[in-house]
Structure 1
Amino acid sequence: MKNLSKLNIFLIALVMVFLASCDNWLDVNENPNNPTDAPIQGLLTNVVLESTLNVQRAGSITSNYVQHLASPNPSSSSDIMEPLDFSGTWGSFYGIMSDITDLINKSENLGASHYVAVGQTMMAMNLGLVVDMWGNAPYSEGFTFETVTPKFDDDQQLYAEINALLDQALVNFNQASSVTVRGDDFIFQGNIPRWIKFVNSLKARYMIHMKGKPGYNAGEVLAAVSSGFVGNIDDAKMNFFEQRRNPWEVIALNNQNLLLGGWISSQFIEALDGTSYPIEDPRLPLMVGATDNGEYIGVENGAGRGDAPERGARSVLIPGQFYTTRTGPVLIMTFSELKFIEAEAAFETDKVRAYAAYLEGIRAHMRMLSVNDASLEAYISHPSVSMGVAAFTINDIFKEKWIATFLNPETWNDARRFDYAYKDMTIPESLNPNLNGQFIRRLAYPDSEVSRNGNNVPSVTLLDRIWWNE
C-alpha cells in the first residue's frame, strides 16, 4: 500500500503538471506556488509503470503468433495472422519514450545519474520492443519536436543504439547520484546492483538475437550473462496493486464475464500434457485453467472453439494463478530466460556448460511457479528432459524456453529465429493467404503512422524480416 500511495501521489502530480502547462500555453498568469515541471521521481514512476504495461501489451499481441494463446472465434485476425492496426500500442511506446527522454534530460541536469541510467535502460527496452515487432522506426528525430514527420531509422542501426544505451546505463549506475532512487522504482525498489544485473541480462538478450549475423560474438553474450541475474530473486518484474490490477488478471476476469480472451492454444496444452512429449509437465495446472471436467483442452489456432460453449469446456487463463494474480507480477525478463540464453550461446563451444544452463533454466521456471520438489525432480530426471550432453540439441533449449517465456513478447523473437520449428506446431487454420503458407515475420505499421507520416513509413509485407532474422 505504501507503493500504491506513492503511485497515486505521482500520477496526481503529473496531472497537475499537465494542467499547469495548459494554463501557461493559454497565456494564463502562472501561480508561483504550482510546479512548472514534473519531478524526476514522478517521471520515473510513470516510466516504470508504462514500460511494464508495454511488455504486457506486446505479449498480448504476440502470444497468438507463438500459439500460447488462441482465439475462441474461427478465422480470428490475430490467429490467422492478418495485418492488424496496433496504433494504440504504437502510441503507448512513443508516448513513454517521450517521457523517458524528459526523464533523462532532467536527471542529467540534476546530476541524478541513477535516474539517467534507469531512463536509458527503459529506453533500450522499449525501443527494442518496437524494433523487434516493426523493424525500422522513428528514433533519432522522434523526440526532438523539430518535425511531426520523423524519419524511420534503420533497424540494424537501432540495435547498435540499444546496445549503446545499455552501455551508458552501466556507466551511470556506477557513478554517484545526486538523487537516490527509492520507492518510485516499482521494479527493483532502488536496488542499483539489481539494476546493473538487469542491464547486463538485457545486453545478453539483444546480442543472442544477432546469432548468425556478422559481428555476433558468443563470448560477449556469455560475458554479459556472467554479470547478469544470478537467481530468481533478480527477476525484472513489476507487481501490481488492488486498485491497478495485473492486466493478465483483467483479461481472465473479462473472459469470465464473456468478454472472451485468454483462451489457451491446443499447441501449448499438448506440449505440456504428454501428447507432444512423453511426459506430463507439472507446470500446466499452475499456468492455465482446467475445464469443468478437470481436463486441459485447448483451441486450435484459426479454428475457434467449434461447438464448445463460451465457458467451462476449454482451458483459459483464470484469475489467481501465477500469471494472473491480481497483485502479481508482469515479467519483463527472468533468470530462467537468461539461463536459456546462456545455453544457446555456449552450445557450439561448451556443450557441457550449455546443458547445465538448460537444466537450470527449467528448474528456475519451476521454482518461480512453486512446483513442488518431487514433481520438479520427476520432470527433470525424465530421459526426454535429461537426455544427456551427447543427445542434447538446440531444439531442446528452444522448447523449454518457449514454455518458460509464456505470455512474454520475447517468445516471438525466439519463434522467428527458430523458424517456428517447435514440435507439432502447425500453420493456423484459414491462414492469411498473403502469407503463402508461412508464419508471420513482423507487424504491419499502424494506421495512425501511415496517415500522419506516410511518406516516411517503409513499404513492407508481413513476410519481410527484421534485420536479425534475414
Structure 2
Amino acid sequence: MKRFNYKYIVWAVVVLFASSCESYLDVNENPNNPQDAPLAGLMTNVTYQTALNTYSVGSFTSFYVQYLASPNPASSTDTMEPVNYSGTWFDLYNVMTDLHVMIEKAEETGAGHYLGAAQIMMALNLGMGVDIFGNMPFSESFNFETVTPAYDDDENLYGQVMAYLDQGIQNLNGETTFSIAEDDFIFGGDVDKWVAFGNMLKARFMIHMKGSAGYSAAEVLTAVENGFSSNDDNAQVIFFEQRINPWSAVARDNANLLLGGWISEQFIQALDGTSYPAVDPRLALMVGTTDDGEFVGTVNGAGRGNAPEQGARSTLIQGQYYTSELSPVLIGTYAEQKFIEAEAAFDSDKSRAYQAYLDGIEAHMDMIEVEEGDKAAYLADPSVSMGEAAFTMEDIFKEKWVAMFLHPETWNDARRFDYAYKDMSTPANLNPDLNGQFIRRLAYPDSEVSRNGQNVPSVTLLDRIFWDAE
C-alpha cells in the first residue's frame, strides 16, 4: 500500500543533511534527539497532509450535503454517481503509512508525545476512511508481506480508532524523551491542545454510534468535558508560501473561469430567510453574491439553468473566512464539539443541550467574526432561541450543518439524520441506481478494484456504513 510522497523525501533529505551539519558543528549534541529517526520531518508531513485529506474529502461530500452544486447539469458528483476516488484513497493510505512509521520510531526512541500525536492522527485518518468507504484494509496494510491485503470489518476498525485515541491521550499525558516543536503544523507543539483534540475526536466518533448497543451518551459528554474549551483550541492548519488554502484556490480558479465552488440553492435558502424564518448574518461572510448583489444558489444536478453567465449565481469568493489565502483548513472545531455536546445531552439533560446548542452557534459566529450586533439579533430571533421546551434535535442538526460549512463531518451527520434537513431534496438528474434515495457510501476506487479485486467487498452506493443503521 506504500506510495512515497515526493515532498516528504525532499524534506527528509533536508532534515538528514541539516542533522549531519549540526552534528559536525555542535559538540553539545542532544543525545535524546535521534539522528536516524526523522520524527520532525514525519510530523511536518502528517500534520500538513492530514489537513489536506480533510479538505479532499470535504471537496466532494460538500455536494452530497448541498453546500456546493455544480454549474454543469448532471455532474457526476452532484448527481451522486459512483465516482472514482482513487486519489483520496491513496492520500489516506500515504498518511497512514507515514504514521505507522512514525509510531514505530516514536516507540523505539521513547518519544511519547510524538507517539501520542501520531496515534491521534492515525485514528482521524482511519476514521475518515471508514466513514466514507466502510470496510478497509488495515491489519495487513503496513507489513509489506502482501500486495493484496485483506479487508477489515468497518465496525472492528472503529474499535481500533477508539483504541488509538485512548492510547494517544495516555501517551501525551506521559513521559517523553523530547518534545514536539514547530514541526507540528496543527498545534505548534502544544501538548495540552493535542490531548483536548484527542478527546474532541473521541466525542466525534462516539456520536456516530448513537443508537447502537455500545453507545454511551455519558462517555461522549466526558470526552467533551476534556476536549476543547474555546475557539483557540481549534485543530487547523494554515498554509503558506507556495501552497495557499485549497478553498481559496477553488475561489481563485472560479474567478478565472475554471468553474468550481458554486453554492447550492439549498444552502442559500437555508440562510436567506426562505427555508427558515431568520436571515442569517453569516451568509455574507461565507459566500459571494451575484453581480447584482444578491444571493442566488444553483440547483443541485440541474446546473446554471437559464443563467449561463458567470456572476449570475453565488460562488465561493476569495478573501472571506473560508477562502482567504491564509485561511485555516479546519480539522476539528470548538463549535462542532458544542453541537456534539448538545446532541449527546439532549435526552438526559435538555437544559444543558439547549445551552450547548446556543454556544455552538455563538462559537461559529465568533470564529468567522460576525458583528456583535448581528450575532445578538440572530440569537434573539424566536426561531433560533425558541426556548428549552420547543427545542428539537432538528434545531441542533440544522445549526451544526451551517457551522460545519465545507467540512466532511457533515456527510456523517446527514446520513445519521437521514438527510432530513428542511427543504433538502435529492438532486435533479439523480443517479437512477439510487432509486430516488440519497447516497450512503462511496464506491471502492478503480485502483483498488484492479489490483486487489479479490478482496474488495461488493457494495452499492445504498449500502450503509455500520453506524448508519436504518
Fold match by TM threshold 0.5: yes
Matched to 2:326, the amino acid is T
Alignment of 1:159-308 (within 5 A): 159-308=158-307
Query: Are residue 469 (structure 1) and residue 468 (structure 2) matched?
Result: yes
**Cα-to-partner distance string for 1:216-257 (whole Å, 9 max, x where unaligned):** 000000000000001100111111113211011111111111
**Is residue 71 from structure 1 mapped to residue 70 from structure 2 by the alignment?**
yes
CA distance in 2, matches of 1:179, 1:18: 18
2:374 maps to amino acid: S
Instruction: For residue 63 of structure 2, give the secondary structure of its aligned residue in structure 1.
Output: coil
Q: Is the 8 Å Cα contact of residues 17 and 36 (structure 1) preserved in structure 2?
A: no
Look up the match of 1:25: none
Match of 1:13 in 2: 11
Contact 1:242 1:327 in 2 (8 A): no
Q: Equivalences for 1:113-192 in 2 at 5 Å?
A: 113-192=112-191
Q: Distance in 2 between matches of 1:242 and 1:327?
A: 9
Cα shift at 1:215: 0.9
The aligned amino acid for 1:291 is T
Gaps of 5+ in 2: 1-5, 18-33
Are the structure 2 counterparts of residues 452 and 11 from structure 1 closer, same or farther at C-alpha, using a change threshold of 3 Å? closer
Shift of 1:100: 0.6
Whole-Å separation in 1 of the counterparts to 2:357 and 2:306: 40
TM-score normalised to structure 1 length: 0.93
- Whether contact under 8 Å (1:71, 1:299) holds in the other structure is yes
Q: Which moved more, 1:9-18 or 1:200-209?
A: 9-18
Identify unmatched segments of 5+ residues in structure 1. 1-7, 20-34
Instruction: Give the C-alpha shift of residue 328 in structure 1.
Output: 1.2
Which string of whole-angstrom CA distances, capped at 9 and with x for unpartnered residues, describes residues 430-449 of structure 1? 10000000000000000000
The AA in structure 2 aligned to 1:79 is D
Matched with 2:380 is: 381
Measured after TM superposition, the shift of residue 310 of structure 1 is: 4.3
Displacement of 1:365 in angstroms is 0.2
Following superposition of structure 1 onto structure 2, how do residues 354-369 of structure 1 map, counting pairs within 5 Å?
354-369=353-368
Query: Deviation of residue 259 (structure 1)?
Result: 1.1
Counterpart CA distance in 1 for 2:13 and 2:256 is 32
Between the aligned partners of 1:279 and 1:341, the Cα distance in structure 2 is 23
- Shift of residue 12, structure 1, vs aligned partner: 3.2
**Which ranges of 4 or more aligned residues in structure 1 deviate by more than 4 Å?**
8-11, 15-19, 35-38
**Identity across aligned pairs (percent)?**
62
| Structure 1 residue aligned with 2:20 | none
* CA drift at 1:14: 2.5
Cα displacement (A) at 1:307: 2.9
Contact 2:137-2:151 within 8 A present in 1 as well: yes
1-structure distance, mates of 2:155, 2:35: 38
Distance in 2 of aligned mates of 1:310 and 1:155:
45
Cα displacement string for residues 379-423 of structure 1 (whole angstroms, at most 9, x for unaligned residues): 001000000000000000000000000000000000000000000
Summarize deviations over 1:258-305 as a string: whole Å, max 9, x none: 111100000000000000011110000000011111100000000000
Give the letter for the 1:401 counterpart.
Answer: K
Once the two structures are TM-superposed, the CA of residue 10 in structure 1 deviates from its matched residue by: 7.2
Match in the other structure for 1:407: 406
Task: Tell me how far apart the structure 1 counterparts of residues 14 and 183 of structure 2 sit (CA, whole Å).
Answer: 18
Corresponding position of 2:109: 110
Distance in 1, Cα, partners of 2:432 & 2:8: 48
The answer to whether the Cα contact below 8 Å between 2:15 and 2:41 also exists between their aligned partners in 1 is no
Classify the secondary structure of the residue corresponding to 2:64.
coil
* Structure 2 match to 1:84: 83
Tell me if structure 2 keeps the 8 A contact 1:267–1:300: yes
